[in-house]
Structures are given as C-alpha cells and as structure tokens.
Amino acid sequence: MSRQSNRATDSKKMNSELFTLTYGALVTQLCKDYENDEEVNKQLDKMGYNIGVRLIEDFLARSSVGRCQDFRETADVIAKVAFKMYLGITPSVTNWSPAGDEFSLILESNPLVDFVELPDNHSNLVYSNLLCGVLRGALEMVQMAVDVRFAQDTLRGDSVTEIRMKFIKRIEENMPAGDE
Amino acid sequence: MADEALFQFLHSEIIQYVNSVETGESENGRCVSKLENMGFRVGQGLIERYHGRSVFILDHPFTKDTPRFKDELDFMKFICKDFWTSVFKKQIDNLRTNHQGIYVLQDNKFRLLAQLSAGKQYLEHAPKFLAFTCGLVRGALSNLGVKSIVTAEVSVMPACKFQVMIQKM
C-alpha cells in the first residue's frame, strides 16, 4: 500500500520551470490588471488561499500525515513534508516565539522566483505572496487559523527568504459525524 | 522539482481569475485570449530554457545526425515528442498534416482536462482549459522561429485536438 502511494508521488513530479514560468506570467498579468502592488498582493493571497483549501486534501491523501498534536509538529510537517512534496525544498524552522505560537520558515531557495528580478517600480510587491495564501488556506481546513506573511525576501534585497507564521486560534467547528 | 498538483491548481486558479475579471458573454473571447497570451509567454520561456541548457534541441538524438529542424515537420515532431513530454509527461498521440502548413495534434487524454468529468457536462468550459496550452505551443514555436495560429477543440473529454496553422513569413 505504502509502496503504491510512493510510486504515485514519484510520477507526479513535473517540469518545475513550467510552474515557475506560469506563476511569473500570472504575476505579470496581475500587475497589468491592478494599479498598485497592494492589490496584486491581495489577489495573489486570495488565489493562494483557494489553492490551499484544495491542496490540503491532496496532501492528506498522499502523505500519511495524521492530526498534528501541537504547532511545533505542524511546523515540521509543513517544512519537511509539504514543502518537500510540492516545491522540492526543505525550509528550516527557526525563531520560535517563547510561547511557541510563532515561528519562521527560512527558504534557502524559492522555486517561484527562479528567473525573476523585480523592477524598481514594484517595491511593495510581495512576489511569492501566493505561498502565504496557500499555507493559510490549507491550515484553515485543518482547523487552524494562522497568520502568514513574508518577513524577508531575497527578491527585495534580504539575504534570505523568511515566512513568518503565527498561530491565532483553533477553529471550533461542528464536524460532520464520522468525519476526521 | 515541483509537484504536478500544484501546477494544476494554479492553472485552474488562473482560469478562475481571468474569468472573474472578464465577466459577461462578450468577454469570453477576451478571457480566452488573455489565457492564450499568458501561455505564449510561458512557451517562449520554456524554449529559451531548453536552448540555454542545450538539452532539448542540440543534443536530441533525433537532431544529431540530420541537420536540425530541416523543415516544418521537424518542428512539429519536436513539439509532439519532446516538448509535450516535458510539459505533460506524454507524447501527442497523433499528428496529422495536410502538408500545406496545417497540423493537427491529438492528445487522447489531455492532462488539464483529465480532472474534469469525462461526460458532456463541462464541455462548454473546455475552451478555457485549452487556451493556455494553445498559447504554450504558439510561444514555443515562435521562439523556434515559426509563426503560427493555434486553436483547440474538444469533442469527447478528455481527448482534444490542437490545430496549428503555420503562418508563412
């Protein structure tokens, strides 16, 4: 059974240039459609959210990850399993807040920005903002309200790319009977 | 390596977005051409990347012994085999031509339609799911120096036909 799912995972690898370039074409289009960068960021986040709420199902079905006990475990799963599976990278998890409700993902490389240079007139654009939406949407589907934002971005001259994640609350929901 | 699911979700999200910007009946054509233009840029980029790494074109066994791309048909074979494999992980199932600049590329199980119902239910939405890929092919050909018009049609999901009309320079 597990072998079979491994095989399915392997065959799902794809040309990441296609993904990177397609994402680039999208951002370019959004920059044309919207007047300012803030609007583009918002739209990217929204689209990411829509992807996240669907991606989580794909993720739970294909990885054998169960319910996370705490936020630390969630961080590990995101960095070591999810990022690895979908983008082929493993960000490091650092900068835990003392309360353990906030941490940073440090991305050595960001596949979304492989061939990207930001023009000067887009200083407020958070190019990879889609990722924030994806993380937020996916976690919301597992009853976690989380605030996600880029704290540093190599595209904007920082030395690393840092995604800051802050746990807000557990979403109480009446789950359908028999649903995990 | 990115994961395919990610691309598929992104692709449908792009369709969704473009569709929401261009609302109304008359905007349907604009919606398709916007998607097509995005595909065009991506297709151009992909060919540039392949060229840069000399993997696809220069070292390809098919082009090693013969002068590379000696005619139009060679370009189309490249699109059907290498390009399609690198993007959709399969070859085009059938290539036909009238030898007058029109080529029909048939994919019996097109990946971006595979997620939709195989019945007739979503047939009217199919053009939106093909526009990006039409652009992809046109962009790729364009960067190989071939000007073309690419359209697509679906009669039975998830099979589809891309028609490439080469524009004489």
> Which chain A residues are within 8 Å of B1, Cβ to Cβ?
13-14, 16, 88
What is the signed CA dihedral for A84, B35, B142, B156, rounded to 10 degrees?
90
Query: Among all residues of chain B, which has the CA nearest to that of A45?
Result: B13
B51 touches chain A (CB under 8 A): no
Q: Is the pLDDT of residue A167 over 90?
A: yes
Q: B158 near B114, Cβ under 8 Å?
A: yes
Q: What is the mean pLDDT of chain B?
A: 85
Which pTM does this prediction carry?
0.87
Report pLDDT for B63: 42
Q: Which residue has the tokens 């920059």?
A: A31
Report pLDDT for B153: 93
Report pLDDT for A175: 64
pLDDT tens digits for range B39-56: 999 999 998 877 654 444
H/E run at residue A106: strand A102-107
Cross-chain Cβ contact B17/A17 below 8 Å: no
3-state DSSP percent of chain A in helix, strand and coil, to 5: 50, 15, 35
Mean pLDDT of A14-32: 92
> Which chain A residues are within 8 Å of B86, Cβ to Cβ?
15, 18
Q: Is the pLDDT of residue A2 over 80?
A: no
Cross-chain Cβ contact B3/A86 below 8 Å: yes
pLDDT tens digits for range B82-111: 899 989 989 999 999 999 999 999 999 999
- Structure-model confidence comparison of residues B117 and A31, the more confident one: A31
Cα B85 from Cα B131, distance rounded (Å): 19
- Reading the block at residue B140, the tokens are 């790729």
Selecting from A29, A51, A86 the residue whose C-beta is nearest the C-beta of B2 gives A86
Which pLDDT band holds residue B27 (cuts at 50, 70, 90)?
low
Mean pLDDT of B122-126: 85
Q: Is the pLDDT of residue A55 over 70?
A: yes
Q: What is the DSSP letter of A88?
A: S
Percent of chain A surpassing pLDDT 70? 89
Report pLDDT for A39: 95
> Which chain A residues are within 8 Å of B17, Cβ to Cβ?
26, 43, 47
Q: What is the CA radius of gyration of chain B?
A: 16
Q: Can you tell me the ipTM of this complex?
A: 0.87
Report pLDDT for B55: 40
The strands making up B102-107's β-sheet, listed across from edge to edge, are B94-97, B102-107, B160-166, B148-153
Q: Is the pLDDT of residue A56 over 90?
A: yes
Query: Among all residues of chain A, which has the CA nearest to that of B16?
Result: A47
Written as one letter, the residue type at A14 is: M
